[in-house]
Chains A and B, each alone.
Chain A
Amino acid sequence: MSRRTSRPARAGQYLALLAYLVFLAFPFLWLISTSFKPARELGSLHPTWIPNDPTLANYRQAFDEQPLLEAAGNSLIAALSASVVAVVIATPMAYVMARHRTLLARAATGWVVVSQAFPFVLVIIPLFLVLKNLHLINSLPGLIMVYVVWALPFALWMLVGYVRAVPTELEEAAAVDGASKLRTLVSVTAPLLAPGIVATALFAFITAWNEFFFALVLLKTPEKQTLPVVLTHFLGAEGAADLGPLAAAAFLATLPSLVVFAIIQKRITGGMLAGAVKG
């Protein structure tokens, strides 16, 4: 169909695409540009796209002002543990949801959908009270537990799609050969699912790395806080002075997510589609 598109129409399409590119990219480019500007330039009334006098001072200052390394460490621990645990417990469940049509499987699918609709406030208050009783407020393990459950709906959604893509004939053949259920799952199904499992884990990692609300409520002291929460400390009250370090820290905090997302981009799209079409 595209072969026949007329020349003016094609030009219009490129123009529209350019407009989208500009809209999508300019805030990010501005963030990067701001992060390399010296304080003097940030105070002037005529900011430029390319810093006149680029500097790394903002990056140094960002690390001096806030415990960024500690925060990144906390974020890494929380996101890594949450994504690994979520995928380890979600994969068997997704398998059952995909292969068995029982009431439980249906209820689980219902929970996946409904859990998207509830405002976090309704969940966070009771969680806060429960975790407080368990002395898990202001602790990473408490946050990780919340992240695991919070990552489960999407993980299940994606994994169910991946399981359905594995032909049942393979499992039946293994069963005929006398392999037990668990054995079949571990040595036949799991290897075929591996790429999907990795993509799901990486996606869970990004969502946990980026998460803000639960971390804000559950982590009280700066040395326990994750990166997004620590970033907000740069905002201060009315401080226009600290734009440089703010931009530098924000840019650094984004890099891991961008890298991981670039790796799994194709799989995420495919996984969403698989879950949506067959689910």
Chain B
Amino acid sequence: MTLATAKKRSGTGSPEGAPRAGVMDHGAWFLVLPALLPILVLSVGPLLYGISLAFTDSQSGRTEPTEWIGLLNFQDLLHDTLFWDSFRIGLLWAVGVTVPQFVLALGLALLLNQNLRFRWLARSLAIIPWAMPEVVVGIMWRLVYNPDAGILNETIRDLGLGDGRDWLTGIGSALPAVIVVGVWAGMPQTTVALLAGLQNVPRELHEAAEVDGAGAWRRFRTVTWPALKPIALAITALNFIWNFNSFALVYVLTNGGPGGRTRLPMLFAYEEAFRYGQFGYAAAMGCVMVALISVLLAVYLVGRLRGGEQR
């Protein structure tokens, strides 16, 4: 069924008809409404409202009425070097987390797909970071990174590699340290998704390739990867978005410090909105973030899909 016919039919809205003929009867509306109303009122509505706020001078606790100011927020944003610093950090963080996350998760998924002993243990442990509140993940890694009582510096001292350092407050080390935590926290979802994808890999093809004398790497390239690719693309794209928009982890680990070195765009916008009360300006930031990330993702996905066709 094409979109066009679906539109036409639901437009005419004949009340009777078979359920799968593309028509919603009254019963179906009755089923949809309880979820549709909250979605419209608390998700779609606020989203549109939020976008419109970006074109106003809305502020918290102001007595004068809010006014339309056109593109002024966006003009200001263009010259706001702090925001672009933050945006750059956000990109570094999102790529820095998403890529290792994918590579490590792929490795783990391939291992878990083998007939290894203790696989159950690994499967259960791999889930832990997923189940944990992000705040707890942040707290936990603060304990690991703690300069005195942390296990990381103690291990470094034990190995005779010096005294270690204060990872989360060092200008150079804060962002990498935070990225490691991001990778750790996001690995489970990626692993589970890839593991699910691996179930789709045709086993017979694998065996045939093996009989033909293909090595492990060749088998991965020619049999496993093509079957896995759609899920791999989807999960990296989603991970990139989630990571770019992440908040709680870094809020707890460094709160954007030291000197803004880990101030992700979400932290920046949060402060702008709820510490300084600049609702309109923060909403403009949100719009810019969505727009730029969508463009980047579109380029990435189109590039990947094309690359697949050529091969």
Instruction: Identify the A interface with B (CB < 8 A).
Output: 1-2, 4-5, 9, 13-14, 16-17, 20-21, 23-28, 30-31, 34, 42-47, 49, 88-90, 92-93, 95-96, 99-104, 106, 108, 111, 115-130, 145-146, 148-149, 152, 156, 181-182, 185, 206, 209-213, 216-217, 227-228, 231-232, 234-235, 240, 243, 246-247, 250-251, 253-254, 257-258, 260-262, 265, 268-269, 272-273, 276-277
Across the two chains, which residue of chain B brings its CB closest to A145?
B42
Instruction: Identify the B interface with A (CB < 8 A).
Output: 1, 3, 6-7, 9-10, 19-20, 22-24, 27-28, 30-32, 34-36, 38-39, 42-47, 49-51, 53, 58, 104, 107-108, 111, 114-116, 118-119, 121-137, 139-144, 146, 148-151, 154, 157, 184, 187, 192-193, 195-196, 199-200, 203, 206-207, 210, 216, 231, 234, 238, 241-242, 244-245, 247-248, 251-252, 265-266, 269-270, 273-274, 279, 282-283, 285-287, 289-290, 293-294
Across the two chains, which residue of chain B brings its CB closest to A3?
B115
- Report yes or no: A121 in contact with B282, Cβ–Cβ below 8 A: yes
Q: How far is the CB of A250 from the nearest CB of chain B, in Å? A: 4
Which chain B residues lie closer than 8 Å to A28 at the CB level?
Answer: 128, 140
- Report yes or no: B247 in contact with A265, Cβ–Cβ below 8 A: no
- What CA separation (Å) do A179 and B252 show in the bound complex? 55
Given contacts A34-B149, A47-B150, contact A120 B247 (CB under 8 A): yes
Which chain B residues lie closer than 8 Å to A99 at the CB level?
Answer: 19-20
- What does DSSP make chain B's interface, helix, strand, loop or mixed? helix
- What CA separation (Å) do A145 and B41 show in the bound complex? 10
14 A/B residue pairs, CB under 8 Å, sorted by A: A1-B206, A5-B114, A20-B107, A24-B125, A31-B140, A117-B241, A120-B247, A125-B53, A125-B273, A127-B42, A227-B133, A253-B133, A262-B124, A272-B192
- Report yes or no: B192 in contact with A119, Cβ–Cβ below 8 A: no
- Report yes or no: B108 in contact with A152, Cβ–Cβ below 8 A: no
- Report yes or no: B266 in contact with A119, Cβ–Cβ below 8 A: yes
- Report yes or no: A231 in contact with B32, Cβ–Cβ below 8 A: no
- Report yes or no: B10 in contact with A102, Cβ–Cβ below 8 A: yes
- What CA separation (Å) do A34 and B162 show in the bound complex? 23
- What CA separation (Å) do A94 and B42 show in the bound complex? 18
How many pairs of residues, A versus B, come closer than 8 Å at their CB atoms? Answer: 301
- What CA separation (Å) do A268 and B192 show in the bound complex? 9
Contact of A120 among B30, B150, B266 (CB under 8 A): B266
- Report yes or no: A1 in contact with B203, Cβ–Cβ below 8 A: yes
Across the two chains, which residue of chain A brings its CB closest to B206?
A1
Of B132, B137, B142, B273, most buried by chain A (CB within 10 Å of CB) is: B132
Across the two chains, which residue of chain B brings its CB closest to A5?
B114
